[in-house]
Amino acid sequence: MALSQALNHLLDNIIWQTLTGAHAAFSTGTDKARRYAPGFSPILGFADVGKADLAELVPFCEPGERLYTGGWTGPVAAGWEVVEESSMHVMLWAGAIPERDEAPESIRLGPEHASQALDLAVLTRPGPFGLRTIELGEYFGLFEGSRLVAMAGERMCAAPYREISGVCTHPDFQGRGFARRLTNKLLRRQMQRGEVAFLHVLRDNTGASGLYERMGFRNHQERAVRVVARS
């Protein structure tokens, strides 16, 4: 029970655990509030989500820059505004390891694919994404010729948890199972490394949550999500 509670504690504030742990080199801020450095995913986290000390982040955020955060529902500090507000499901993988790589033809994305990955994310809006997001973990893409048409990758992590993120398919290529195949590829690789996969799905994205449930993910908790900006 103690181990289970300790692991759940990691998920309760996974953003902070990531930004001060495995991704500390990709973040900037203070011992109370941090964010991914500009160019990576525009996400910020707090040591105490109940306080959300935004004042600590003023030197690290440009006016008008939109930043995502999870788990915080308290009042907004002066000089900041909530641009969007909703909730998201944290889903944990509960299935067996996929028997095979379902996307062997996929390509590991590198710096040469960064602009295409960003363009696809801007078009399909899988979540906060930056030009350098694909550096945060393994990202794989499916191509039609030289055109990136689907991708999925990894973002936040705090051992043993590893987030599957950036799952998206160009509208012209949806309905072909690309997202599912790429997700299964990542699941297989993560489980072979002894990691536990999790992902975030916005409350209103019932299509995605239904797909993930059919694949073998289960809801762990629902958390607030906000997009904030310096006014």
pLDDT tens digits for range 100-136: 999 999 999 999 999 999 999 999 999 999 999 999 9
Give the pLDDT confidence of 126-177 residue by residue, as tens digits.
999 999 999 999 999 999 999 999 999 999 999 999 999 999 999 999 999 9
DSSP, collapsed to helix, strand or coil, labels residue 40 as: strand
The pLDDT value given to residue 6: 53
More confident residue, 25 or 74: 25
- What is the average pLDDT across 2-29? 86
pLDDT attached to residue 7: 66
Full set of structural domains in the chain with CATH:
2-88 (no CATH), 90-221 (3.40.630.30)
What pLDDT, on a 0 to 100 scale, did the predictor assign at position 5?
A: 56
Burial profile 111-136: b = 16 or more Cβ within 10 angstroms, e = fewer: eebbebbbebbeebebbbbbebbbbb
pLDDT of residue 1: 40
The answer on pLDDT for 197 being more than 80 is: yes
